[in-house]
Every structure is written in structure tokens, then in C-alpha cells.
Amino acid sequence: MTILKEVFDLESVPRSLHELLESWLYGKGPLSSWLIMFVFAGFAWTLWVTRNNMAIEKVFPKMPSDVLYGALSLLQKWMILLKEDDRWRMSQVKDMVVCWMRSFKTNATMPTDIHEI
């Protein structure tokens, strides 16, 4: 959810499915409730497929960003099903997420409890 907070420059984001249903699906989020469900479905499907690949085929993503790019690819394929205005808005969202991903700097150090003296 942090990605949504940063991409849309939000004060806060839902921390549970219950909060999502209570707020964003009633039009209080950065997108219409229809587009929120569209994005949610795309990311949920991508997570499900990734999980199955990991559990069944023992194929793991090389980086977490691979999952995000997979979800964006899926949403792009599904966008043809949207109305023209919604397609335009989803294209904007895709561009915002890609821009965020390109500017994201990963932490190169591994977390550890070992300290050098």
C-alpha cells in the first residue's frame, strides 16, 4: 500500500480490506470505485499467479518489481475492456506507477543484527 500512498501523494491508505471497502469503494479514494476494483483485481490476480508459480513450479521472481511489472502488463492487456475515459485514466495511473518504480532506490545493504566493532 505504500506504493499507492507515494504514487498518489496521499495522507493515508487503507490498511485492510475492510478499510478499503469502507472508504475507497465509496468514492473516497484517488480513483473511481470501478477503477479501484479493476486495479485490485489485476494486482490480486498477479499475486495469485506469482504465489502459484512459487509453490507449484518453484519459480521465484528475481526482484519484487517483477511482480509490479507483471501486474502493470496484465492491467494494460485488460484496459481494452474499459470505456475510453477510464482507459485514459488507467493509462495515467500506469505512467505514474512506472515513473515511481524508475525513481525508486533500493537499499543495497542486507538487514542484519551483526554489528562490526
Which triple of cell numbers denotes residue 63? 526482484
Distance between CA atoms of 111 and 39, rounded to whole angstroms? 32
Splitting the chain (117 residues) into consecutive groups of 10 residues, what average pLDDT does each group show?
73 79 72 84 92 94 88 93 93 89 69 59
Q: Which residues contact 98 (CB under 8 A, 6 or more apart)?
A: 72
Distance between CA atoms of 42 and 39, rounded to whole angstroms? 5
Distance between CA atoms of 56 and 50, rounded to whole angstroms? 10
pTM: 0.73
**pLDDT the model gives residue 107:** 59
